């Protein structure tokens, strides 16, 4: 078992100037100036796969380009450790915790083993998610500034796991959450950092028309007719059957096609069942395209979003729901449920429309199809909203601000 | 062209958002929260909210009004709160008192709505401000105009909107400097009249430049 330091491809901040404007990029540099040479350590449990690794792959090089000395370390552990942390993850989302109490000792032992291999000597240390949370034991003489970045929804945790983790979290100088809804009451300051998308990534870059056409042809989607799209895995909480019902209501008034695109999560045994339920609900309607995409299909998702007339996210429960930010970035009008992090992205009647039922979603879709000028305006304002708040550069700015705050406050 | 006695220092402000342990799920809770929350929270949900949503120029005023409209479906109360103009306030306690009075009066007059559950909770947050010099300064109007052209949204918000609370006066950093350091009283006044509710920060910059441009040739 060896802990690793992840070495990343360089990113040039100037590449973001055409998107953000030079003034915004200059401002990032000004904020970073007092932090030149200061050391930062990011620690998580995986280099590849998952949202955290995806963000760090871009964030770390951006902070390095801004002059900070940033290291990204990955903890390692055996199968037992990751089975425990997977059980933690499910339990923190409110599920049961089926493992015995000794599992907590095994968890701490793996954190201890990582401490013997990792150097924890930076001025700013950011520990991501519960897996490495006990590394704070390696903080010497209360030195440096330590922050816990929690990417998961802690609002309804299984108390067995939370009561075990809470004393560790309380040792940090602050905790960062993705939404005010995801927090637990803590004795340390809690900060709000939105998750983010990278406008230069394969999933969000502007595609050439022929790239889009190729994807639509592959899935036999007609670009000249209205396309309503929901991108999400086949999970009951994303209510794909509800989307089919809303589409049927809309179809009475408008010619349209429905695209339900996503994959089945490997760790979700219900995925196949839900997919079958959706196929059944579609009743062989040739205008309903159910696309079971491979896990990593960024170009396909990008093309489907860009080609859409309107994007739907009719979830019953949601984490942050970054597919909404992806659609808004592509200037698409969005109709979405007011759950999880969605209302932070869809400001009703300003950057999209919120709905609370199948019938409500259908009504909002019809309203937007009847008012294309308003739909375009919501899409444009949604794009601006994402530019201000949900891009990787905004995330970098928040980290810079946090480090500056710590630096100026001293100890 | 006149030289100023002291230069205009362009700064920027970056805000860290702190989540507070105060939430509202009814209008009555909101009235309570408005009393209990920090000054930084009132600032975040009003002055700072306007900056965060500067690209919305129709019908968005502050977070409280937006929540009351979308989560409580009380359009008349939302309208009352939205019509509070932050330019009228030079201190947070005055703004807090008015927000609270409006919500409290409404709750007293419509007791059934006061305890009705909202679709989603209102989480009180507060902004922690970190200011940084941009390394740009102006000694005359030409340099000032050039500096404006290089400002980010955050910097424009800091100097033009948030400055009222710092100055405790119904003006902004730009007008203050133009009047006091360059003697351009009329220009300062016209700049202070720009409506920040119906402009984006980009269109605000364009208006500033348009007002300054003729002065560069006199």
Q: Where are the domains of chain B?
A: 8-13+133-216, 16-126
CA distance linking residue B182 with residue A159, whole number of Å: 63
What mean pLDDT comes out for the span A258-280? 84
Q: A244-254, pLDDT tens digit by residue? A: 999 999 999 99
ipTM of the complex: 0.90
Give, in order, the Cα–Cα distances in Å from A151 to each of A127, A182, A295, B60.
Answer: 11, 9, 20, 30
Q: B173-208, pLDDT tens digit by residue? A: 999 999 999 999 999 999 999 988 888 898 999 999
DSSP-derived letter for residue A197 is B
CA distance linking residue B103 with residue B27, whole number of Å: 7
What mean pLDDT comes out for the span A347-362? 95
Closest CA to A143 of A32, A3, A41: A41
Give, in order, the Cα–Cα distances in Å from A76 to each of A82, A135, A246.
Answer: 9, 12, 46
Q: How far apart are the first and last CA of chain A?
A: 35
Residue B79 CB partners (closer than 8 Å, separation 6+): B65
Domain co-membership, A239 together with A264: yes
More confident residue, A3 or A211: A211
Q: How far is A324 from chain B (nearest CA, A)?
A: 18
Q: Which of A147, A177, A180 is the best residue to mutate to test the B interface, defined by the most B CB atoms within 10 Å of its own CB? A: A180
Q: If DSSP codes are grouped into helix, strand and coil, which group holds residue A149?
A: strand
Residue A50 is part of a domain; what is its CATH number? 3.40.50.2000
**Chain B residue with Cα closest to A185:** B21
CB B148 within 8 A of CB B19: no
pLDDT of residue A3: 54
What mean pLDDT comes out for the span B150-160? 93
Domain co-membership, A220 together with A267: yes
CA distance linking residue A288 with residue A290, whole number of Å: 6
Give, in order, the Cα–Cα distances in Å from A100 to each of A86, A154, A243, B75.
Answer: 14, 22, 41, 53
The pLDDT of residue A358 is above 90: yes
Domain co-membership, A348 together with A247: yes
Domain co-membership, A266 together with A142: no
Is B55's CB within 8 Å of A388's CB? yes
Give a yes or no: residue A204 inside a domain. no
pLDDT of residue A1: 44
Which of the four pLDDT bands, split at 50, 70 and 90, describes residue A49? low
**Chain B residue with Cα closest to A398:** B16
pLDDT of residue A257: 98
What mean pLDDT comes out for the span A38-62? 90
Give a yes or no: residue A203 inside a domain. no
Going by their DSSP bridges, the two strands A334-337 and A310-313 should be labelled as parallel
Domain co-membership, A28 together with A69: yes
CA distance linking residue A14 with residue A379, whole number of Å: 26
pLDDT of residue A164: 97
**Chain A residue with Cα closest to B73:** A348
Domain co-membership, A222 together with A316: yes
Of A23, A350, A401, the CB nearest to B152: A23
Six token digits for residue A300: 């396909």
Q: How far is B90 from chain A (nearest CA, A)?
A: 25
Q: A133-144, pLDDT tens digit by residue? A: 999 999 988 899
Domain co-membership, A108 together with A233: no
Residue A317 at interface with chain B, using a CB cutoff of 8 Å: no
Six token digits for residue B137: 């300064």
Which of the four pLDDT bands, split at 50, 70 and 90, describes residue A411? low
Domain co-membership, A183 together with A288: no
Average pLDDT of the residues of chain B? 92
Domain co-membership, A223 together with A131: no
Q: How many domains does one find in chain A?
A: 2
Is B152's CB within 8 Å of A385's CB? no
CA A341 distance to own-chain centroid: 10
- What phi and psi values does residue A362 have, to the nearest 5 degrees? -60, -40
Going by their DSSP bridges, the two strands A353-355 and A288-292 should be labelled as unpaired
Q: How far is A288 from chain B (nearest CA, A)?
A: 31
Quote the domain boundaries for residue A298. Answer: 209-389
Q: If DSSP codes are grouped into helix, strand and coil, which group holds residue B118?
A: coil
């Amino acid at each position: 078992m060896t802990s690793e330091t992840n070495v990343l491809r360089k990113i040039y901040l100037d590449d973001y100037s055409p998107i953000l404007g030079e003034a915004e990029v200059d401002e990032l540099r000004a904020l970073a100036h007092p932090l030149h040479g200061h050391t930062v350590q990011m620690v998580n449990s995986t280099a590849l796969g998952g949202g955290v690794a995806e963000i760090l792959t871009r964030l770390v090089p951006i902070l390095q380009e801004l002059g900070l000395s940033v290291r990204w370390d990955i903890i390692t552990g055996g199968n037992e450790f990751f089975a425990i942390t997977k059980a933690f993850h499910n339990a923190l989302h409110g599920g049961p915790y089926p493992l015995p109490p000794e599992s907590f000792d095994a968890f701490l032992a793996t954190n201890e083993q990582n401490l013997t291999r990792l150097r924890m000597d930076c001025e700013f240390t950011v520990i991501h998610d519960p897996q490495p949370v006990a590394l704070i034991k390696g903080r010497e003489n209360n030195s440096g500034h330590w922050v816990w970045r929690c990417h998961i929804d802690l609002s309804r945790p299984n108390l067995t796991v939370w009561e075990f983790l809470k004393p560790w979290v309380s040792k940090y100088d602050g905790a960062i959450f993705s939404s005010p809804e995801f927090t637990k009451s803590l004795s340390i300051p809690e900060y709000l950092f939105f998750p983010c998308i990278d406008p230069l990534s394969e999933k969000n870059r502007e595609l050439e028309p022929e790239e889009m056409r190729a994807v639509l042809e592959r899935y036999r989607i007609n670009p000249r007719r209205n396309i309503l799209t929901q991108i999400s895995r086949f999970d009951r909480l994303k209510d794909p059957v509800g989307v089919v019902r809303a589409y049927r209501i809309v179809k009475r008034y408008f010619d349209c096609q429905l695209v339900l695109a996503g994959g089945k999560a490997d760790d979700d045994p219900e995925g196949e069942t839900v997919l079958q339920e959706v196929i059944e609900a579609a009743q062989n309607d040739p205008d309903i395209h159910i696309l079971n995409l491979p896990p990593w299909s960024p170009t396909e998702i990008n093309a489907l979003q860009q080609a859409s007339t309107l994007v739907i996210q009719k979830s019953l429960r949601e984490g942050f729901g970054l597919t909404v930010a992806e659609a808004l970035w592509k200037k698409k009008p969005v109709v979405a449920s007011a759950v999880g992090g969605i209302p932070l992205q869809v400001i009703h009647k300003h950057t999209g429309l919120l709905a609370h039922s199948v019938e409500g979603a259908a009504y909002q879709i019809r309203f937007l199809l009847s008012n294309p000028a308003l739909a375009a305006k919501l899409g444009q304002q949604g794009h601006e909203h994402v530019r201000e708040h949900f891009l990787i550069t905004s995330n970098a700015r928040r980290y810079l601000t946090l480090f500056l705050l710590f630096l100026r406050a001293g100890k | 062209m006149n030289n100023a006695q002291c230069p205009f220092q362009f700064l920027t402000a970056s805000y860290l958002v702190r989540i507070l342990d105060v939430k509202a799920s009814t209008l009555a809770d909101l009235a309570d929260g408005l009393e209990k929350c920090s000054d930084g929270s009132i600032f975040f949900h009003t002055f700072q909210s306007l900056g965060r949503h500067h690209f919305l120029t129709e019908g968005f005023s502050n977070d409280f009004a937006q929540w009351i409209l979308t989560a409580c479906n009380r359009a008349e109360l939302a309208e009352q709160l939205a019509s509070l103009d932050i330019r009228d306030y030079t201190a947070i306690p005055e703004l807090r008192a008015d927000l609270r009075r409006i919500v409290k009066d409404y709750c007293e007059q419509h007791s059934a709505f006061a305890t009705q559950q909202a679709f989603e909770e209102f989480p009180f947050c507060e902004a922690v401000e970190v200011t940084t010099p941009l390394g740009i300064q102006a000694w005359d109007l030409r340099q000032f105009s050039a500096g404006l052209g290089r400002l980010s949204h955050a910097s424009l918000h800091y100097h033009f909107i948030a400055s009222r609370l710092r100055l405790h006066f119904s003006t902004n950093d730009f007008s203050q400097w133009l009047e006091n350091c360059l003697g351009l009283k009329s220009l300062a006044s016209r700049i202070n009249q720009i409506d920040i509710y119906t402009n984006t920060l980009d269109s605000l910059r364009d208006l500033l430049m348009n007002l300054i441009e003729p002065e560069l040739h006199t």
